[in-house]
Amino acid sequence: MILRATNFRLSAIAIALVLLCGSAKSSWAAGARDKVYNGAADQAGAGQEICDVAADQALGLEDYPAAIALHQQVVRAQGDNALAHYHLGFAYGMIGRTNSEIDEYLVAARLHLRKWDLFLNLGLAYLSRNDAPDAIEALRTAVLLGANHPEAHFNLALAYEKGDRWQEALDEITVALHLAPDDLDAHNTKAIICVETGDQVCARDEWTYLVRVAPDYAPARVNLTILNGAHPPLTASAAAIFTSARFASAR
């Protein structure tokens, strides 16, 4: 099994302790490679809706049980508050209630909240359930709304890969690398996709590059060693078998 550094790629955004849903500047997230939330309201989708200050403060402080209880109060009183549904879904996701998380994200989307990070998190939730088709649909919307965010392209590449759509996966990881050329995991993921399509030259080039520029990056060293030990050269049909049987994950 190929070495991966992570399942999903997300942005690290500083936590803001006090956050209004209608804020135009604040942003926060739970942490790198978990879930992403951009607190800057997308006015095209959010209008002038404002969440409860205490509810958002609890979310910013990562007190998820309190955030859930307070946001539930908000959505009971203001059922059409799309941002409140988004926040509630985010809090559900942070305690592992994926079904409830998805339900709230979908409500927010039906209420016309058009935020790239909403659809990114929706896609990640689907990926956590191994639901590649729905993940692809959500992440394509994330890319449409946030085309300059490499993590949207990165995760869409993973979703395409999970759906055995190799060329589309390669296209998306290439865009992610264009936006973030120093991203080690994106280079590693591109190499993984190349292996899965039988393109050993591409995979070897990526892993050789990583070993040169980041010698402490273990996935590249291990995967390059495994790839160099593959005899005879892989065909596209054999690559998937080799990938699942020989390469290991570092997530």
Q: 190 near 205, Cβ under 8 Å?
A: no
Q: 207 near 194, Cβ under 8 Å?
A: no
Instruction: Calculate the alpha carbon distances from 132 to 136, 228, 234 in Å.
Output: 6, 31, 26
> Could you tell me which of 46, 39, 1 has the C-alpha nearest to residue 19?
39
- How far is it, in rounded angstroms, from Cα 238 to Cα 179? 32
| 68, burial (CB in 10 Å: exposed 0-12, middle 13-18, buried 19+) | buried
Please state the length of the chain: 251
pTM to 2 decimal places: 0.78
Q: Cis peptide leading into 215, omega within 30 of 0?
A: no
Could you list the pLDDT tens digit for every one of the 251 residues in the chain? Answer: 334 344 454 432 222 222 333 332 222 222 223 466 555 433 333 343 457 789 989 998 999 999 999 999 999 999 999 999 999 999 999 999 999 999 999 999 999 999 999 999 999 999 999 999 999 999 999 999 999 999 999 999 999 999 999 999 999 999 999 999 999 999 999 999 999 999 999 999 999 999 999 999 999 999 999 988 864 444 443 344 334 334 433 33
The overall longest dimension of the chain from CA atoms, in Å, is 65
Return the number of other C-beta atoms located less than 10 Å from residue 151's C-beta: 25
